[in-house]
């Protein structure tokens, strides 16, 4: 069936009657994965262009409804959207293929870069590349603060929530999950009360121009038969995915003990998979807070290097967690060789980070009609998004302090500690390169990849030439 052929527009349709072969869909998902640069907004735009505009497999209404559901979930919404649409088209197998392919290119790329990092990190050329990437990453994170803030902070209540979140995480060392929970509860209560300040809006969705309606697509307006709510199927698939996710965590705990590095990696990133609302940059603040400050798995500058890898490779930005697990295991290898342990750490981190994404989609997708128009849930998401602005601002400030200054000290306060740079230790080359990246992003509207590439090249030239 041609992508533009007349769709089935009424009644339930059996799986496969839309005429889209699984093999063709697999090739399309591989293509989307290879082009998924630029964070969630860019990744969602690629999916929309290919699946809605080019292939016309699904329509605008269904795409946005699925996206809104994915934005309510913890984890990377772009990958979850791929799982959802893959499932919608080709049942469980389609969702597994779409979700796995979305992650695979980035996993392989970051694994290769991680090997180079630990083996050749002190070679001037490699050192210079990552020096330049750090400066560019700072500009990208600042851009994220502005972009998300302009969309989320529409009134003084939302600005107040963002300010409270920033104060809580920067000055009070409040845990990220607690901040998200508090914001969600406040938004839910505000939505139930009918307060206009909590009404939702925004998101990563595509433009409303040139709308392609569901009735004009291969899938049509009706749900496939397999997409109807089925409690038996949901319980079965959820049981399998829970076993695949938490089974290895429990096995590591029982065999290696709670203090082993692999047990700690599995436990921490499993917890992260449950609380990672608000997008990749909010999650990075949480990971940086714990992996650097609490566990001591890596240094602040190394966290920036990892984000630079994730920004320059396809796939979700949350793939930076793979680099964190890689370094943690590399430095605490036990009886294994450092590289073998690091590889296992990277695989384990990726597994417990992304398996839950399949669980959330397969568990909830057949029942999302119950969420349509739920004002209280929409208000909770709106408040969480506002809190995320404050969390990302904390991340930007944290990155700036550790990028632009060579020495940073922790200043104790009555309620926690704050990082304070020593002004005399300012890093002039890093400051100049970061300023140039900020000018390129905000003044000349340069894309993320050109800015990252240019800064990496300039950083390499600076270090190599002395």
Residues 32-55 have pLDDT tens digits of 998 876 567 668 878 888 998 899
Phi, psi torsion values for 416, nearest 5 degrees: 170, -150
Which parts of 209-295 are beta strand (E)? none
Q: What is the pLDDT of residue 259?
A: 93
Question: Could you give the angle at the alpha carbon of 389 between the alpha carbons of 179 and 267, nearest 5°?
Answer: 45
Q: Round to whole Å and give the CA distance between 449 and 454.
A: 8
Q: Round to whole Å and give the CA distance between 387 and 177.
A: 11
Question: Could you give the angle at the alpha carbon of 184 between the alpha carbons of 182 and 185, nearest 5°?
Answer: 65
Q: What is the pLDDT of residue 395?
A: 77
DSSP-based helix, strand, coil % in the chain, nearest 5: 70, 5, 25
Q: For the range 119-127, what are the long-range contacts, defined as Cβ-Cβ under 8 Å and sequence gap of 24 or more?
A: 124/463, 124/464, 125/460, 125/463, 125/464, 127/463
User: What is the mean predicted confidence (pLDDT) over 100-115?
Assistant: 93
Q: Round to whole Å and give the CA distance between 262 and 272.
A: 15
Q: Round to whole Å and give the CA distance between 392 and 394.
A: 5
Highest-pLDDT range among 121-135, 334-348, 379-393, 408-422 = 334-348
User: What is the mean predicted confidence (pLDDT) over 16-26?
Assistant: 84
Phi, psi torsion values for 226, nearest 5 degrees: -70, -15
Q: Is the pLDDT of residue 299 over 70?
A: yes
422: DSSP letter:
-
Q: Round to whole Å and give the CA distance between 80 and 48.
A: 14
Q: Round to whole Å and give the CA distance between 341 and 323.
A: 13
Cα maximum dimension of the chain: 71
> Among 36-45, 60-69, 142-151, 408-417, where is mean pLDDT lowest?
36-45
Mean pLDDT, the chain, as a whole number?
Answer: 84
75-107: pLDDT as tens digits: 888 899 999 999 989 989 999 999 999 999 999
Phi, psi torsion values for 78, nearest 5 degrees: -65, -45
Q: Is the pLDDT of residue 322 over 80?
A: yes
Q: Round to whole Å and give the CA distance between 338 and 130.
A: 22
3-state secondary structure of 426: strand
Q: What is the pLDDT of residue 150?
A: 82
Q: What is the pLDDT of residue 214?
A: 77
């Amino acid at each position: 069936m041609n992508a533009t052929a007349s769709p089935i527009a009424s009644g339930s349709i059996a799986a496969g009657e839309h005429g889209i072969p699984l093999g063709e869909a697999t090739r399309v998902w591989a293509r989307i994965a290879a082009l998924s640069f630029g964070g969630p907004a860019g990744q969602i735009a690629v999916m929309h262009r290919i699946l809605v505009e080019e292939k016309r497999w699904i329509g605008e209404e269904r795409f946005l409804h699925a996206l809104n559901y994915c934005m309510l979930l913890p984890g990377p919404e772009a990958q979850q959207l791929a799982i959802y649409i893959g499932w919608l088209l080709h049942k469980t197998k389609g969702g597994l293929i779409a979700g796995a392919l979305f992650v695979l290119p980035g996993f392989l790329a970051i694994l290769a870069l991680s090997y180079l990092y630990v083996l050749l990190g002190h070679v001037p050329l490699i050192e210079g590349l990552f020096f330049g990437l750090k400066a560019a990453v700072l500009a990208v994170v600042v851009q994220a603060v502005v972009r998300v803030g302009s969309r989320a902070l529409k009134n003084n209540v939302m600005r107040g929530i963002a300010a409270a979140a920033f104060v809580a995480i920067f000055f009070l060392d409040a845990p990220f999950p607690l901040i998200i929970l508090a914001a969600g509860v406040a938004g839910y209560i505000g939505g139930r009360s009918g307060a206009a300040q909590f009404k939702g809006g925004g998101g990563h969705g595509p433009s409303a121009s040139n709308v392609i309606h569901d009735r004009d697509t291969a899938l049509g307006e009706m749900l496939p038969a397999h997409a109807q709510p089925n409690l038996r199927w949901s319980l079965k698939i959820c049981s399998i995915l829970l076993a695949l996710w938490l089974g290895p965590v429990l096995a590591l705990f029982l065999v290696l003990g709670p203090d082993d590095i692999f047990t700690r990696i599995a436990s921490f990133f499993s917890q992260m998979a449950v609380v990672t609302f608000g997008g990749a940059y909010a999650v990075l603040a949480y990971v940086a807070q714990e992996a650097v400050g609490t566990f001591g798995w890596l240094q602040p500058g190394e966290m920036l290097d990892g984000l630079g890898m994730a920004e320059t490779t396809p796939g979700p930005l949350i793939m930076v967690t793979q680099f964190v697990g890689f370094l943690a295991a590399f430095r605490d290898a036990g009886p294994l060789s450092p590289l073998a342990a690091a590889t296992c750490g990277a695989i384990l981190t990726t597994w417990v980070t992304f398996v839950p994404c399949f669980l959330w989609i397969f568990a909830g997708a057949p029942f999302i009609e119950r969420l349509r128009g739920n004002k209280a849930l929409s208000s909770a998401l709106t408040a969480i998004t506002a809190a995320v602005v404050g969390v990302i601002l904390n991340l930007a400030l944290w990155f700036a302090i550790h990028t632009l200054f060579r020495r940073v000290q922790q200043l104790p306060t009555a309620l926690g500690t704050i990082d304070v740079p020593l002004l005399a230790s300012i890093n002039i080359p890093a400051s100049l390169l970061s300023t140039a990246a900020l000018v390129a992003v905000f003044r000349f509207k340069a894309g993320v990849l050109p800015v990252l590439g240019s800064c990496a090249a300039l950083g390499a030239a600076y270090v190599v030439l002395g």
